[in-house]
Structure 1
Amino acid sequence: MSLSVNLAFFCSFLSLIFHALFIVVKAQNNNGNGVVVSTQLWCVAKNNAEDAPLQQAIDWACGPGGANCKLIQQGGPCYDPTDIQKTASYVFNDYFLKNGMTDDSCSFDNTAAITSLNPSYGNCKFPASASASNGSFSGSTAAAMGSNSADFSACDKILGTIWFWLLITIHLFFVILQVN
C-alpha cells in the first residue's frame, strides 16, 4: 500500500477512536444519571436439570416456599403433566418474583437460571418484572446501569456532530489523493 492510503486509514481510525471516546465521556457526564435500559427477566428451569431435583424444587416452592401453584394444577393454563421443565419454570418464576428477584431466589439447588427470553407458551403467561442496578436486581421494570455506562445507540447524535463530518471530509480528501 502507498503512504497516502496508510495515512488515510490511520487518520480515519484515530478519528473514530477519538469520536467514540468523546461519546463515552459525554454520556458519563450526563449529570450522573447514567443510562436506563428496560428489560424483563424470568427464572426458569435449566434444560439439563434432572426430573427428580426439579420435582423436589417444585414441592418445596409450592409448600414452604409459598409460590402460587394454582395455575400448574389440573385445569390451569400452565398444567402440563408431560413437561416437568415447563411446570418447574412457572413455579420458579413465581417464587423469584415474590422473593426479591435475586440470584439466590432463582437457584433451586442449581436447577434454575435467570433469562431474558419469555418462557410463556399457549395460554400460560409468565409474569415478568425486573431491573438491575450495578448488577443487582430490584423490583422495578427499568434497569439503571449506573453512571459509568454509555448509550451507543444514538446514531442521530453521531450524524449531527462535527467529528463525523470531519472524518468524512478527511477520508474523502485521502481518497481524492489516491485517485490522482
Structure 2
Amino acid sequence: MKGVYISLFVFLVSFQAFNLANGQARLFWCVPRAGVAVAQLQANLDYACGQPDVDCGPIQPGGTCYEPNTVASHAAFAMNLYYQIHGKKSDCDFSGTGTFTNTDPSYGDCKYVKSIGGKL
C-alpha cells in the first residue's frame, strides 16, 4: 500500500511540475460546499475572521466585498482568505463544510486571494 501512495505522490508532483513548466498553473480557492446551513457558515465566518492574521475588512460595511451582504458571501471570502494564509489542504475543511474550486469566485471590485496549486 505504501508503494501506491509513493507512486501517486510522484505522479502528482510530476503533473504539477509539468503544468507549471507549461504556464498552466492551477489556481485554487476555498469556498463553502453547496447546501451548508447558515449557522455553520456563520461559525466558519466567525472562526476565520477571529484569527489575528485574517483581515476581514473587505467584508465589513463599505468594503469591496461587503455586497452582497449575506452570510454565505462573507463566509466564502473569509474561508478562502484563511485557507490562503495558512495554506494546507486541511485549512479548507471547516468541519467538512469547505471545498476547493478552480473557478475564481471574485466579482466586481471584490478580489479573492488565490494560490498556485502547490498548496493542495
- Give the TM-score taking structure 2 as reference length: 0.74
Larger radius of gyration: 1
Structure 2: gaps (5+ residues): 1-16
Alignment of 1:1-180 (within 5 A): 35-36=18-19, 37-64=24-51, 66-80=53-67, 82-100=69-87, 102-132=88-118, 137=119
Q: What is the number of equivalent residue pairs in this alignment?
A: 100
Indicate conservation of the 8 Å contact 1:40/1:131, yes or no: yes
Q: 4+ residue stretches of structure 1 with deviation over 2 A?
A: 80-83
Deviation at 1:47, TM superposition (A): 1.9
Q: Classify the secondary structure of the residue corresponding to 1:41.
A: strand
Which whole-Å CA distance do the structure 2 matches of 1:129 and 1:111 have between them? 20
Amino acid at match of 2:73: K
Deviation at 1:103, TM superposition (A): 2.0
Q: Classify the secondary structure of the residue corresponding to 2:27.
A: coil
Indicate conservation of the 8 Å contact 1:46/1:112, yes or no: yes
Aligned-CA RMSD value: 1.8
Indicate conservation of the 8 Å contact 1:44/1:93, yes or no: yes
- Seq. identity, %: 33
Deviation at 1:57, TM superposition (A): 1.1
